[in-house]
Amino acid sequence: NAGVTQTPKFQVLKTGQSMTLQCAQDMNHEYMSWYRQDPGMGLRLIHYSVGAGITDQGEVPNGYNVSRSTTEDFPLRLLSAAPSQTSVYFCASSPAAGSNNSPLHFGNGTRLTVT
Amino acid sequence: AQKITQTQPGMFVQEKEAVTLDCTYDTSDPSYGLFWYKQPSSGEMIFLIYQGSYDQQNATEGRYSLNFQKARKSANLVISASQLGDSAMYFCAMRGSRGFNDYKLSFGAGTTVTVRA
Nearest residue to B93 (alpha-carbon basis) of B25, B9, B10: B25
Distance (Å) of CA A55 to CA A31, A66, B111: 10, 7, 31
Q: Write down the pLDDT at residue B75.
A: 97
| B108–chain A Cβ distance below 8 A for any pair | yes
| A56–chain B Cβ distance below 8 A for any pair | yes
Q: Write down the pLDDT at residue A4.
A: 96
In a mutagenesis test of the A interface, which of B2, B4, B35, B45 is the best target, namely the one with the most A β-carbons within 10 Å? B45
Residue B62 backbone zone (phi > 0: left; psi -120 to 50: alpha; other: beta): left
| B44–chain A Cβ distance below 8 A for any pair | yes
As a residue count, chain A comes to 115
Q: Write down the pLDDT at residue B101.
A: 60
Helix or strand holding residue A18 (H, E): none
Alpha-carbon gap: B16 to the closest alpha carbon of chain A (Å): 28
Maximum pairwise Cα distance, chain A? 40
Query: Residue A104 is nearest to which of B9, B31, B105, comparing CB atoms?
Result: B105
Provide DSSP, A27-46: S--SEEEEEEE-TTS-EEEE
Q: Which residues of chain A have pLDDT under 70?
A: 1, 97-100
Query: Residue B110 is nearest to which of A42, A56, A101, comparing CB atoms?
Result: A42
How many beta-carbon pairs under 8 angstroms link A with B? 64
| B33–chain A Cβ distance below 8 A for any pair | yes
Q: Which residues of chain A from 16 to 35 reach within 8 Å of chain B, CB to CB?
A: 31, 33, 35
Q: What are phi and psi of B105, to 5 degrees?
A: -100, 120
Give the integer Cα–Cα distance in Å for B103 and A24.
19
A45 interaction partners in chain B (CB closer than 8 Å): 104-105
Consecutive 10-residue averages of pLDDT for chain B (117 residues): 91 97 93 94 94 92 96 97 97 82 82 97
Under an 8 A CB cutoff, do A48 and B102 touch? no
Q: Are B70 and B56 in contact (CB under 8 A)?
A: no
Provide DSSP, B50-117: EEETT-SS--EETTEEEEEETTTTEEEEEE-S--GGG-EEEEEEEE-SSGGGGT-EEE---EEEEEE-
| B36–chain A Cβ distance below 8 A for any pair | no
